[in-house]
Structure 1
Amino acid sequence: MRRIISDQAPDAIGPYIHATESNGIIFTSGQIGLNPQTNKLVDGFENQTNQTLANLQNVLKTANSDFDHVLKTTIYLADINDFSKINDIYKNYFNDSYPARTAFEVANLPIGALIEIEAIAEVKK
């Protein structure tokens, strides 16, 4: 097992790391819309979604992967009414190579985030 910590993603806000890799499969921790330079949430759902995906992209890059190698994502939303907004933004990151996905509303997310995304991906060969 390999533990992955990216210097391009925000610091963990709890006792966890950005990702682990085992046998060529990467499991990321959930990413939220924290600016990696300030470790503060960016404002608004769209900005948080873009920052969340950028953070996830940086974790995958550190783990020698990318969005083309993502097998599945799980999206946690503070408000399920933002589902269509996430779709509009999300599709711009995956170049039509969409992974399996689950999305649902949750009661609360860490530090008041509006969205959190985690992924399972393959290491690039």
Structure 2
Amino acid sequence: MEKKIINPWTWQDARSYVQAVEVKHVESTLYVSGQTAIDEHGISSAENMRTQLEITLKNLEKVIQQADFDLSNIVRLNIYTTDSEALFNNFDVFQAWISQHKIKQTSTVLEVPKLFETLQVEMEATVV
């Protein structure tokens, strides 16, 4: 597999994403459903955004690792949130996770009116 990062600018670097990722000679692709702060019993978290973000990332990590994919090969990570301001006030959690796993992904952040029950953030990924 070959990955090429395309960044015509540098401003996105501070926001922990890239403009495009070209991937060639892929053996397999994993499409991960939206992961949230739901525990192993299917109970939605009612915690604050920071805690939900931490749980969501752990759940995303668990699914990807169980599929025997490497987190560094996430090429797309979309984020849905009911509160953009709260998300960006806690964005350091996301950025630390991205940095820790050496991920260079494309991303879109979308504010939505509601997620399931008490959830505030959801992430879906594509991994090669």
1:114 corresponds to 2:120: yes
Q: Quick one: which amino acid aligns to residue 94 of structure 2?
A: Y
Higher gyration radius (CA): 2
Shift of 1:92: 1.5
TM, length-normalised to structure 2: 0.71
Q: Could you say if the C-alpha distance between residues 30 and 99 of structure 1 is closer, same or farther in structure 2, counting changes exceeding 3 Å?
A: same
Which residue is 1:14 aligned to? none
Which residue is 1:25 aligned to? 29
Question: Does the CA-based 8 Å contact 1:67-1:93 persist in structure 2?
Answer: no
Question: Aligned to 2:123, what secondary structure does the other structure show?
Answer: strand
Which residue is 1:75 aligned to? 79
TM, length-normalised to structure 1: 0.72
Aligned-residue sequence identity (percent) comes to 22
Gaps of 5+ in 1: 1-21
Mapping 1:78-89, distance limit 5 Å? 78-89=82-93
1:97 corresponds to 2:103: yes
Match of 1:39 among 27, 38, 42: 42
Question: Does the CA-based 8 Å contact 1:67-1:94 persist in structure 2?
Answer: no
CA distance in 1, matches of 2:109, 2:92: 14
Which residue is 1:6 aligned to? none
More deviation in 66-75 or 92-101? 92-101
Q: Could you say if the C-alpha distance between residues 46 and 83 of structure 1 is closer, same or farther in structure 2, counting changes exceeding 3 Å?
A: closer
Q: How many residues in Structure 1 have an aligned counterpart in Structure 2? A: 100
Shift of 1:86: 4.4
Question: Does the CA-based 8 Å contact 1:71-1:119 persist in structure 2?
Answer: yes
Bigger fraction of residues in helix: 2
CA distance in 2, matches of 1:67, 1:85: 24
